[in-house]
Amino acid sequence: MLVREVDLSGRVNDRLLLRMISWASGTRRRGANALRVNLDQRMYLGTSMGAWTQAAMRGPSAWSIGERELMAALVAKWNACACCTDVHSAVASSHVGSASVDAVLADFRSARISAGLKATLAFLEKMTLRPAGLSEEDAVAVLASGVSEQSLADAIAVAAVFNLITRYVNTLEFSMPRADKCRRVAAALVSGGYPQ
């Protein structure tokens, strides 16, 4: 379902730009939604969303950028958001290698990653898919694996941001970009971080 406000939003210059992009690229409606939302990000997501995403994904943390991107890719996978899964898998691959990313996406429990990352991913999986079942014992299990409270909080922030973003993308029915577009978006995230 296309949200009407997205379809009709934007300043005159933005609407003209979107029409030109749609005409030149041959995309209509769904393909342009991501562009509309990016142009009017403050109206749809609030002024702090970009800063929150940048802080969660690139701010100080014991988790590497690659590990946080891997968390984002898994949250996207669990939420059946193919677009976000592909983009964040590509960013994670640039940091930790595609073999590691593929192994984690296939089955993080059997992948060759640290016990702390495995425990944290199990926590995030439950947070994403069965949040009502999340308990203090789940947090204790992560801490027992050697992950600090701050690192668990950092991982929760990544999952919270991407649970919101992936559900938002799915609600607006963003079309799956071509592979070359995913690579360009991933390259922009690797070099410049997240737009604020």
3-state secondary structure the chain: CCCHHHHHCCCHHHHHHHHHHHHHHCCCCHHHHHHHHHHCHHHHHCCCHHHHHHHHHHCCCCCCHHHHHHHHHHHHHHCCCHHHHHHHHHHHHHHHCHHHHHHHHHHCCCCCCCHHHHHHHHHHHHHHHCHHHCCHHHHHHHHHCCCCHHHHHHHHHHHHHHHHHHHHHHHCCCCCCCHHHHHHHHHHHHHHCCCC
* CA-based torsion, 166, 168, 172, 177: positive or negative: negative
pTM score, two decimals? 0.73
Q: Which domains does the chain have, with CATH numbers?
A: 4-45 (no CATH), 49-192 (1.20.1290.10)
Cα 66 → chain centroid: 13
Per-residue pLDDT of the chain (196 residues; tens, 9 = 90+): 344 444 444 455 555 544 554 554 444 444 444 444 444 455 556 667 778 888 898 899 999 999 999 999 999 999 998 878 888 888 898 889 999 999 999 999 999 999 999 999 999 999 999 999 999 999 999 999 999 999 999 999 999 998 988 887 767 666 555 556 556 655 666 566 555 5
Confidence at residue 100, expressed as pLDDT on a 0 to 100 scale:
94
Nearest to 128 by CA among 160, 175, 87: 160
